[in-house]
């Protein structure tokens, strides 16, 4: 068996800037991996994330370092030993899943034993961080979707959240400060979160400050995002968390994400599925986790000016899987 590995950086401009507490994105910068064997090719995509010290260049170097092993036939289990969790491993792992499905005329959904088809999945539609007035306008355009995610910071989260809820009174609501709050702010905003019928608070504290959540009983569930990358991190989580946000770029691929989901549930934690700002090639494998998640936050491709051909479609806040043959099937 001999394989050919292609590593390609790609840029997808956004249709509108994406703002969170850490900064603003105007394009999705991704790395695409293509693994060809016996005339059949599998693809995977990752989004290097500066929050974790990743860049496009460092990701390409990390993938190039395992090129020899991949060309010689290394599989997904061996990949877990060859590469650490992170974006680089994600692109390779997802390409290997895609390749195997095509070589065996199968589907990844069947290979992992999904018991239900991947139908339309309600995804969080993001209201980016902005002035309360602009966030109100953005929320008004999403007033009829099932789920909204609101990006906030420390400047005036109460005003930001009230503006969104005023414009969109019906959707379920996820609030995401992206590690920008303190434990005092989490405590002081509890009543407001209840009053606004918020369903989930995502990673309010910096991951390094997690200890402050030990013994904390929140009025609404709190999800760990930046605090959890792979299954081995779960033992260090304080009991203030009740949900784990699984992102394939953090976990290092679908293989590790499946392990993380299984272990999280074993520990009594709920699972949500998230993503970076990306193309549909990142979302297709994430749907394998999302189908059994309590929340899905997979609107990354919806921010792009132009997605990959045949990718996901969103109608009324519900994602439809990519067209047959896009990823994970023959």
Only one residue has tokens 């001999």, namely: 2
Spatial strand order of the sheet with 23-37 comes to 3-20, 23-37, 40-46
d(CA 307, CA 279): 6
Of 310, 312, 329, give the one whose Cα is nearest residue 320. 312
Tokens 């749907």 belong to which residue? 287
- 188/182 Cα distance (integer angstroms): 10
The single residue of 25, 115, 149, 151 carrying the catalytic annotation is: 151
Measure the CA–CA gap between 33 and 23, rounded to whole angstroms: 27
CA distances (Å), origin 251, targets 60, 184, 194, 225, 287: 18, 30, 31, 11, 15
Q: In sequence order, what are the residues at sequence separation of 6 or more whose Cβ sits closer than 8 angstroms to the Cβ of residue 268?
A: none
Q: Is 176 exposed, middle or buried (0-12, 13-18, 19+ CB in 10 A)?
A: buried
| Secondary structure element (H or E) that encloses residue 149, with its range | strand 147-151
Catalytic residue among 25, 115, 197, 247: 247
CB within 8 A of 195, min separation 6: which ones?
none
149 classed as catalytic: no
Beta carbons within 10 angstroms of residue 317's beta carbon: 20
Are the C-beta atoms of 42 and 102 separated by less than 8 Å?
A: yes
* 318 part of the active site: no
Pairing of strands 318-320, 313-315: antiparallel
CA 57 to chain centroid, in Å, comes to 21
Cα(270)–Cα(252) distance, integer angstroms: 20
Q: Which residues are catalytic?
A: 151, 247
């Amino acid at each position: 068996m001999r394989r050919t590995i292609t590593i390609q950086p790609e840029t997808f401009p956004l249709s509108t800037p994406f703002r969170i507490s850490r900064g603003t994105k105007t394009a999705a910068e991704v790395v695409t991996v293509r693994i060809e064997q016996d005339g059949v090719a599998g693809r995977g995509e990752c989004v290097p994330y500066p929050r974790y010290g990743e860049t496009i260049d460092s990701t390409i170097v990390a993938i190039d370092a395992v090129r020899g092993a991949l060309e010689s036939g290394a599989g997904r289990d061996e990949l877990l030993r060859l590469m650490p969790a992170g974006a680089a491993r994600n692109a390779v792992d997802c390409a290997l899943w895609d390749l195997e499905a095509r070589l065996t005329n199968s589907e990844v959904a069947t290979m992992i034993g999904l018991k239900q088809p991947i139908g339309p999945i309600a995804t969080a539609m993001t209201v980016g961080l902005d002035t309360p007035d602009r966030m109100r306008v953005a929320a008004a355009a999403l007033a009829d979707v099932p789920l909204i995610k609101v990006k906030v910071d420390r400047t005036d989260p109460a005003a930001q959240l009230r503006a969104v809820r005023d414009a969109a009174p019906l959707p379920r609501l996820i609030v995401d400060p992206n590690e920008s709050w303190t434990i005092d702010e989490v405590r002081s905003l509890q009543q407001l979160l209840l009053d606004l019928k918020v369903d989930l608070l995502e990673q309010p504290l910096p991951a390094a400050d997690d200890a402050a959540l030990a013994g904390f009983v929140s009025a609404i569930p709190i999800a760990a995002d930046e605090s959890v990358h792979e299954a081995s991190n779960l033992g260090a989580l304080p009991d203030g968390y009740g949900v784990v946000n699984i992102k394939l770029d953090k976990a290092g691929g679908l293989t590790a994400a499946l392990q993380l989901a299984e272990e999280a549930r074993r520990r009594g934690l709920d699972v949500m599925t998230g993503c970076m700002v990306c193309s549909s090639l990142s979302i297709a494998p994430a749907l394998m986790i999302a189908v059994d998640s309590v929340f899905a936050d997979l609107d990354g491709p919806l921010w792009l000016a132009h997605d990959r051909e045949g990718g996901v479609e969103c109608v009324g806040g519900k994602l439809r899987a990519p067209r047959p043959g896009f990823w994970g099937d023959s």
